[in-house]
Amino acid sequence: MDIRVGNGYDTHPLIDGEKLILGGVNIPYKKGIKGHSDGDALIHSIIDSLLGAMSKKDIGYHFPSSNDAYKNISSCLLLKDVAKMVSNEGYKILNIDSTVILESPPIMNSINDMIAMISKFTELDISRISVKATTNDGLGFIGNKEGISVISTSLIIKE
């Protein structure tokens, strides 16, 4: 049995005039995430955790911002591709655990929708997906409402 753990991290600035998309869910807010794709930091960190578990480099290697094919793309489509890569490598995703670090807006009411989207694009049961939210207690760029960070861990297995 081959059991692997991967960690992922993503951070983006929050700016006026962009959408705030997290876990494939559009969160109404005055600021959004700046990024080449839709900037979904939650999905990006999950992708990196899955790629890391397989020792397959990172999201920037597989979906470079220099490639216009990924401009404004839904990060959920990238997650679907990576989930397929996991399967093609003979692995199965056992669980995904993520922590969103964001001062504002509160996202607690959207977490179940995020989990449902992650489940849809990974084909992983919702009971095996955790999304948590915390603030930075007013400290740093996150505390100043200038950005967002997400940390994710994934567990995969090949039997």
Would you kindly state where each structural domain of the chain is located, as residue ranges?
2-158
Could you tell me the fold of the domain covering 2-158? 60s Ribosomal Protein L30; Chain: A; (3.30.1330)
Whether the predicted model's global pTM rises above the 0.75 cut: yes
Instruction: Give CA separation, 124 vs 56, 87, 88, 121, in Å.
Output: 20, 12, 15, 8
User: Residues 129-154: pLDDT tens digits?
Assistant: 999 999 999 999 999 999 999 999 99
Mean pLDDT score of the chain: 96
User: Residues 66-104: pLDDT tens digits?
Assistant: 888 888 899 999 999 999 999 999 999 999 999 999 999
User: What DSSP state is assigned to residue 6?
Assistant: E
More confident residue, 5 or 69: 5
pLDDT for the residue 56: 97
25 and 110 Cβ atoms separated by less than 8 Å: yes
